[in-house]
Amino acid sequence: MKQTNKQNSALHNKEGKSISNSVSAKSAARIKKLRKKKVSAEELLQAILKGNKPALSRAITLIESQQQNHAKDVSTLIEGCLPHANKSIRIGITGVPGVGKSTFIEAFGNYLIQQGKKVAVLAVDPTSSISHGSILGDKTRMEELVKQENAFIRPTASGDSLGGVAKKTRESIILCEAAGFDTILIETVGVGQSETVVHSMTDFFLLLKLAGAGDELQGIKRGIMEMADAIIINKADGENERPAKKAKAEFKKALHLYPTRQSEWIPKVKLCSALYNSGIEPIWKMIENYRKITQENDYFYHNRHEQNKFWLLQTINEQLKSNFYNQPTIKTELKKQLQLIEENKTTPFEAATYLLKLAKEL
């Protein structure tokens, strides 16, 4: 009798497992079918405006496409989203690798969601200059935040763009805002002084630092320090709490050396431990205070207008570059000129002059 029960139990488990596998297979097939289904730009736009996260992901993939036949759909998306954009606070977050950017963003994002915010994270991973690959592991690192209904995390490879941001991050911000996300967090590669690009698309710029790693002296230099609206010394817990307080004092002294800003904002230095959710609330209150001050003195809106001018010029540069390299004649002649340079029959300057003149005539 016992043997029969065991056999029945085994059979039941086997059947249950079989049914479960069958359901999983059907679900996977259904998802695959939906992905293959052609969705128009207008349908994507309407879904985005309703806050549909899968549609938002799909739209960002579309605008990141390098294919020329996607250009019209991209224009439709951007133009349709623009009237619904510009209603968020855009926060740039940077720091050297290992400073805890992803941990900080998860703690910060979870706190914001508790305050009733909708948070979009555009996390940019560095691309290898050798293999051209990228890990794109931010969703894995932010395992709690990614489960939140009011959170959207989009990891993107930086590609060959400078400034630690992907080329289409600006457009991604517009799409996220149109989808109803009121707080946009942009995590950058953290490559140093070329972080000017992320500064040119955000309202508030957070610089994360570490204490006790020689980072204090590395940070006290013009460039990135001048751009930072606040310096956050992360991992200020346990044995590192005392060095963190010392670093805070040193950074505060350093910030006094810089001239008064047009925004009338005095950069702050704060301590936090993202791992233990310590110091997160004061950081958000500081950002809210910044927004209040800069909106009252109109710098907030002036800064947005200046950023739009900057991105107009950037878009023109990108388009000219794309048009140049995509011309069939230029592609052919470029190979010839590279071969001539290798054979020492021409110089890079002469080759460039020849190709630019040729492009002008085409």
Both 176 and 102 in a single domain?
A: yes
pLDDT of residue 128: 38
Q: Which of 136-140, 168-172, 299-303, 318-322 shows the lowest mean pLDDT across its residues?
A: 136-140
Both 220 and 287 in a single domain?
A: yes
Q: Are 189 and 198 in contact (CB under 8 A)?
A: no
Both 46 and 153 in a single domain?
A: no
Label residue 213 by pLDDT band (50, 70, 90): low
Both 97 and 203 in a single domain?
A: yes
Both 324 and 291 in a single domain?
A: no
List the domain range (segments joined by +) for residue 259.
Answer: 87-302
pLDDT (tens digit per residue) in 299-349: 999 999 998 898 888 888 888 988 899 899 999 999 999 999 999 999 999
Both 261 and 149 in a single domain?
A: yes
Residue scoring higher pLDDT (127 or 7): 7
Query: Which residue, of 275, 302, 329, is where some domain finishes?
Result: 302
Both 185 and 61 in a single domain?
A: no
pLDDT of residue 55: 95
Read off the pTM.
0.79
pLDDT of residue 81: 95
pLDDT of residue 163: 40
Give me the number of domains the chain comprises.
Answer: 4
Both 9 and 122 in a single domain?
A: no
Label residue 194 by pLDDT band (50, 70, 90): very low
Show the DSSP H helices in the chain as ranges.
2-36, 41-49, 53-64, 71-81, 101-114, 138-141, 169-178, 196-199, 215-219, 224-227, 241-255, 280-296, 299-325, 328-342, 348-361
Instruction: Assign residue 105 the CATH number of its domain.
Output: 3.40.50.300
The torsion angles phi and psi of 5, rounded to 5 degrees, stand at -60, -40
pLDDT of residue 134: 37
Both 203 and 137 in a single domain?
A: yes
Task: Report the C-alpha gap between 200 and 310 in whole angstroms.
Answer: 8
pLDDT exceeds 70 at position 29 = no
Both 25 and 125 in a single domain?
A: no
Both 182 and 213 in a single domain?
A: yes
Both 270 and 205 in a single domain?
A: yes
pLDDT exceeds 70 at position 205 = yes
Stretch 146-155: mean pLDDT? 92
